[in-house]
Structure 1
Amino acid sequence: MTSPVQTRGFDSCDPSAIHAFLAETYGTDLRIRAGDDGYRLVHRSVDAGPFALATIGQTASLDIGVGEIDGLVICRARTARVDRTCDGATHQLAPGEVFLATRPGLPFAVGWHPGEVEVCVLDLAVLAQVATAAPARRPGRIRFTDIAPATAALARQWRTTTTYVRDVVLTNPIASTQPLVIGNAARMLAASALTVFPNTAVTDPTIEDRRDATTATLRRAIAFMDEHADLDITAADIADAAAVSLRAVQLAFRRHLNTTPMAYLRRVRLDRAHHDLLLADPRRDTVSAIASRWGFASHSRFTAWYHASYGVPPRETLSA
């Protein structure tokens, strides 16, 4: 299988080349103004499709005007200071701070002082997958009401999430080829963004949601998971298959099984991985390859879940 993950590096002191590269990479109109002494830009990125992570370093103070970007752009100022202006408001960000570069669909400008910035660009469709309601009750486009995390603890959560995705998921040559793994990572980032930054996404169950959280809903959801566990299905897909809202299906699983839809799906995939381990040839197959096939990017997490469920480490099942 061809890896959906594309790694790219760029290093230049040529203003024209830098402008062209950034415009192509971020698909938008850019205006860049630097000092007379010139500058160097180093850009390292990993594009996984529904999301991309990049580390960008530069050696001069730059003023950058950015047109509309059809995605959520979340930044962490690693060593640089950043002055960010959007929708008439200006914020000064210090090294270490996490912030939204822009609200989706709005142009913005940054005054970027020398140093490094980490950027995550997240497809808005992934946010909708995580936050969507039933088809008849879908909210409007999610609107973020503040560019800063709600608390310092939530800012740390964002840093922890991106570190896991970058260092565990994207650096795993087996896991990063699997659509289940990439889809899970994208939704992990989206869920974290919706938790970290204040927004208008609806999270509380409605009266209709509580009414629909029945055992019939649960059966329809479980049947869909059993049939499609090998595909990159989302909680919104499960809710659509059960013909209820996402909140209703979440409430049904919590009410009747004391779990969540995605935790139940993980258990289904763990059972499928167990079955594959039982049938695998230890001379050709590996635990990591089988785990990745079923959406488990972290070998240590998979081993812990497997041992808790089956009483032995997965390598013992494979060897047997």
Structure 2
Amino acid sequence: MREQYTSVRLKMHSEHPLLRILQEPLRQARLERVTFRLHYDFTADPLGVLFLGHMRSGRCRFRSGRDEVHVRQGDAFLLSQPDASFGGMVDSALIDFAAVEPSLLGDIAQNAPGVRGPVRLLERQPFSPLAGAQWAHTVGLIHELVSSPLTVKSPLVTAQAERLLAAATLAAFPNTTLTDPTIEDRRDAHPATLYRAVTYIEEHPREDLKVTDIARAARVSVRALQLAFRRHLDTTPMRYLREVRLHHAHEELRDAIPGQGVTVTSVAARWGFSTPSRFSTLYRQTFGVPPVQTLWGERRVLPPSGQTVG
């Protein structure tokens, strides 16, 4: 426990305890499924990360300072803030955890005007049981995505999985960000802002772009940037980035030379698409044909029947 987390003091109440930890590390986050076949009390030093959980079964009681939370089956909860010590009781539980670097929240959102410091979560429980259930569902999908052998690993895919986790967390738990545009944001959401943002995206599609990077290049807040894209293009900055990457992938497939090892899977991963099936769906919706047809071309010899391509 000390090697994986922090200094922990345990008091066991089980004769034959079992602790099993399955981890899926990302870059700024880590997903875990932890099985506790034991009953114990513990206290722990700060972890340096946001540590959130979803109680799949069992019962727990967690405390930090004077705040204590009783967690029941199905609940989502914030176990600890990055800089706070904590403790509690666990009794034969199965819990999905997400450890999130605090800076990850700041990659996708900005604090409300007048709020200083990093983006923070304000409460240990979600806005509502429904918000908690949606967070748990999203974390489950991300866990399946990153652990699946069908998922192609690439820096862009990992970054997008992490940002989905951060977005789900901000949507579920009270925090210091402001989602509604201010008067200044509405004023800044003009065509010149959109032009600067679109230019930046189209010049840097291979880079691991965050919405905060695009807003900085456009010289506006994240809220003003998002409003500009909704107002003028009826889309979002990150969806526009995905479309730009999809067109680059199309060009790469179209220009590929047979025999040089280019596959649909490799192209999809290079442009940030986590699975070939998802890439194929988006590709067909945009270009009207499956990506393999573009790769082989109308005048090229198609692969033998039954042969898998890329």
Question: Please, what TM-score do these two structures have when normalized by structure 1?
Answer: 0.87
What is aligned with 1:100?
Answer: 78
SS at match of 1:219: helix
What is aligned with 1:179?
Answer: 155
One-letter amino acid of the counterpart of residue 61, structure 1: H
Contact 1:133 1:139 in 2 (8 A): yes
Contact 1:132 1:139 in 2 (8 A): no
Q: Is structure 2 residue 121 aligned with structure 1 residue 144?
A: yes
Q: Is structure 2 residue 286 aligned with structure 1 residue 309?
A: yes
Q: Using the alignment, how far apart are the partners of 1:197 and 1:110 within structure 2?
A: 21
**RMSD of equivalent CA atoms:** 2.0
Match of 1:275 among 251, 273, 280: 251
What is aligned with 2:264?
Answer: 287
Contact 2:157 2:274 in 1 (8 A): yes
Distance of aligned partners of 1:38 and 1:267 in 2 relative to their CA distance in 1, 3 Å threshold: same
Distance apart, 1:185 and its partner CA: 0.7
Aligned residues: 296
Contact 1:133 1:246 in 2 (8 A): no
Q: Using the alignment, how far apart are the partners of 1:76 and 1:242 within structure 2?
A: 38
Matches within 5 A, 1:120-131: 120-131=98-109
What is aligned with 2:227?
Answer: 251
What is aligned with 1:44?
Answer: 22
One-letter amino acid of the counterpart of residue 102, structure 2: L
Distance apart, 1:206 and its partner CA: 1.6
Contact 1:175 1:293 in 2 (8 A): no
Distance apart, 1:38 and its partner CA: 4.7
Distance apart, 1:115 and its partner CA: 2.8
SS at match of 2:107: helix
Contact 1:60 1:113 in 2 (8 A): yes
Distance apart, 1:200 and its partner CA: 2.1
One-letter amino acid of the counterpart of residue 42, structure 1: R
Match of 2:36 among 58, 61, 65: 58
Q: Using the alignment, how far apart are the partners of 2:256 and 2:73 within structure 1?
A: 49
Match of 1:231 among 207, 210, 215: 207
Which consecutive segments of 4 or more residues in structure 1 shift more than 3 A?
136-139
Distance apart, 1:24 and its partner CA: 2.1
Q: Using the alignment, how far apart are the partners of 1:65 and 1:79 within structure 2?
A: 21
What is aligned with 1:167?
Answer: 144
Distance apart, 1:173 and its partner CA: 6.3
Match of 1:194 among 170, 187, 203: 170
Q: Using the alignment, how far apart are the partners of 1:173 and 1:227 within structure 2?
A: 30
SS at match of 1:144: coil
Question: Please, what TM-score do these two structures have when normalized by structure 2?
Answer: 0.89
Structure with greater proportional helix content? 1
Contact 2:20 2:34 in 1 (8 A): yes
Q: Using the alignment, how far apart are the partners of 1:174 and 1:188 within structure 2?
A: 16
Which whole-Å deviations, capped at 9, do the CAs of 1:69-101 have from their partners, x for residues lacking one? 221111111222111112312221122221110
Contact 1:133 1:247 in 2 (8 A): no
Which whole-Å deviations, capped at 9, do the CAs of 1:24-67 have from their partners, x for residues lacking one? 222x2211111262522111111112110111112210112121
Distance apart, 1:139 and its partner CA: 4.0
Match of 2:68 among 87, 90, 99: 90
Contact 2:24 2:146 in 1 (8 A): no
SS at match of 2:3: helix
Q: Using the alignment, how far apart are the partners of 1:141 and 1:316 within structure 2?
A: 47
Q: Using the alignment, how far apart are the partners of 1:258 and 1:34 within structure 2?
A: 56
SS at match of 2:84: coil
Distance apart, 1:293 and its partner CA: 0.9
Distance apart, 1:113 and its partner CA: 0.6
Contact 2:74 2:133 in 1 (8 A): no
Percent identical residues: 36
What is aligned with 2:308?
Answer: none
Distance of aligned partners of 1:36 and 1:215 in 2 relative to their CA distance in 1, 3 Å threshold: closer
One-letter amino acid of the counterpart of residue 25, structure 1: Q
Distance apart, 1:245 and its partner CA: 0.9
